[in-house]
Amino acid sequence: MDTKTEVLDILNELTGEDLSENMDDNIFEDGLLDSMASVQMLLSLQEKFGIDVPVSEFNREEWDTPNKIVAKVESLENE
């Protein structure tokens, strides 16, 4: 599976929503994720992709749409 599909699977598990048609929608403003779910998302992404995202460095504005999450994961994978 590619990164986009895997990220969407994680988001689907957390939100109960298929976000594949809403890749630029703000998942926080839409009420799909809150701060607790953000932590769970980061833990799931770290486990799945072997990336390191300290919660202390989490900037919600950099992770607020599915497209941004995919791009962030891809950039962290390439570090």
pLDDT in tens, the chain (79 residues): 899 999 999 999 999 999 999 999 999 999 999 989 999 999 999 999 999 988 788 899 999 999 999 999 999 988 8
pTM higher than the cut 0.75: yes
Architecture of domain 3-78: Orthogonal Bundle (1.10)
Quick one: pLDDT at residue 37? 94
DSSP for residue 61:
G
Contact (CB, 8 A) for 71 and 3: no
What residue has token string 């998302």? 41
Q: Which two tokens stand for residue 17?
A: 């929503």
CA torsion sign for 10, 13, 19, 23 is negative
Of 3, 51, 34, 40, nearest in space to 66 by CA: 3
Measured at the alpha carbon of residue 70, what is the angle toward residues 67 and 61, in degrees to the nearest 5? 60
